[in-house]
Structure 1
Amino acid sequence: MKKTPLMLSLTLRPLTWLLGFTLLLGACQEDQILPRETPTNQNPGDTNNPAEPGNPVEPGTPNNPNTPVDPNNPGNGQPDPGQQPNPMPTGKFVQLKWSELDFQRVDYDNNNLITRYVSQYNSSQGSNAVTNFTQEFHYDANKRLVKQTSNVYGNILFFYNGNQLEKAMENDKLDRPLKEYYFTFRTDGKLESRLTYKVDLNNNKTEYQKQVYKYDTRGNLVILEDYFKNPATNRLELSTRFFFEDFDDKKAAIPFLATYPYLPQFTAWVNNPRVKYARNKDGYELSGRERYGYTYNTDGFPGSQIRSTVIGNGRPDVTFTGNYIYNFN
């Protein structure tokens, strides 16, 4: 089957074709994959009645963006030396597998903290060549995410005010500054916005991008709004809206928001969306609408996923099936 790049690769930091729409929102997120013993939501709510998205949040700047968070706070960039990812993890994991060479996988430690996220795909048809993106997560003694490393990019350090995440700093592989991220959260702990600054070698910051997140009454991310700086107006202006709709009432297998930087501790999806698409700032739908069908296991998690991507222009939809593998032992 020919693998077709999905539209999100145009707006997100490139990951892989198989991540599809889910990972824009890559990324990050991751949102921990729920362990088997987690009870099913007893009040799933109305799957056809998402919360009113309301008007877009006015893009802006955080208070004192040039004032760093106190680096002496415990956990700010100080990984617990006892928490080291295994080279070949064999413990708890969840994997969405499309083939032997194409898969997504999330690994956990004994505290159910995500230690690694892997996305891999067959990069050359008819061969065993693969492209692999691996992200590792490091925590402090208080189980706060303090560092991310990857085999593709540099590293990201996270800074807190108490237990509240406030800021992240991204460096390249030579440890030079690239970006700073500022986060705001709702009173219920849901991620509300992420503001991004580009940083030059002299530590000068330029406002660059803002993402705004909106949820339904069950806590599922239903709209992600992407704003970028317009050089002509010197303002952040809406670029794209990403929509997640028609949720089931089952438990999400990979619920963290997989935008970049990943935030695996914050849940983006409680349930599983069955429709994903995007519209530009004028409301026109972009190509690449995705539809999902699921089977479920006895624990209420997806057992398999059938994904169809609408290509348009008279071309047939791209459809393929992946299977979920769980190991919570």
Structure 2
Amino acid sequence: MDSGNDTQLSEFFLLGFSEHHPQIQSLIFGLFLSMYLVTVFGSLLIVLAIVSDSHLHRPMYFFLSSLSFVDICFTSTTVPKMLVNIQTQSQVITCADCITPMYSLLLFSGLDIFLLTVMAYDRYVAICHPLHYAVIVNPQRCGLLILVCWTVGVLNSLLHSFLVLRLSFCTNLEVPHFFCELNQVVHHACSDTFINDMVIYITAMLLAVGPLAGIVYSYSKIVSSIRAISSAQGKYKAFSTCASHLSVVSLFYCTLLGVYLSSAVTQNSHSTGPASLVYTVVTPILRNKDIKSALKMLFGRVTGNRPVD
């Protein structure tokens, strides 16, 4: 294709919810503002509770606080801009303003995946190898796992962002989404996107399916260990510890993989919007079931009672 026919992209138009009636948009604005505030303040509460209590400076709570911090960054990457667009009825976003949140979204969604995997590993060791837990999941290994998560996440985000920057676009583009989602931007390019598509599919397989296999393996071993517990109360406690985490993992993976692999079988870009809302807004708020535990932690610290695991 002759690159001389292309012009430098200056703006994207994020259509998002612009097709809805103004009253519906007001309802959507209030709904997602409430969900965003609950997610942010709930996650901050969890981090505050864990940081302020020395009894909670353990691997399980260390990973939980890391995940809560990532949740704040994850939702803050997309939701505030979406709320501003709804309120001002402005859908215009510059190329630079599009690439930056795209990079951040890729980074924090990747960190979500890796941290969920690390937490599954932590619970596997705690339930299946309780006597060796302190040796296997020591502070040095916890720090190394977090460092690996961030390193892989940053490299993956940089790779996709640089590949998007090499693309050329013919004109200002209308994106049927409420944020600059990677697939949507790539598929609106005028230049050849073969390399971008291949990298998207390969990284999706390596960085999503790979960790998912680790989660499934960990929980298969956990279930086997729980079945061997003779006490009904012990089984209930073990299952309740893992059930909420596993349900959120399932919801997050189903929607995330559905969005990033759907382009392989369909070009219906409008169908990815609702699914994206689930993993960017709904899934983090579901994880805030831990808010109740965080409140118990804080009240326990104030009253001098230690939290019970």
Shared fold per TM-score greater than 0.5: no
Tell me: higher relative CO, structure 1 or 2? Use CA pairs within 8 A at least 6 residues apart: 2
TM class, shorter-chain normalised? under 0.3
Q: With the length of structure 1 as denominator, give the TM-score of the two structures.
A: 0.25
**Greater share of residues in strand:** 1
**Greater share of residues in helix:** 2
Q: With the length of structure 2 as denominator, give the TM-score of the two structures.
A: 0.26
In our comparison, the structure showing a higher alpha carbon Rg is 2
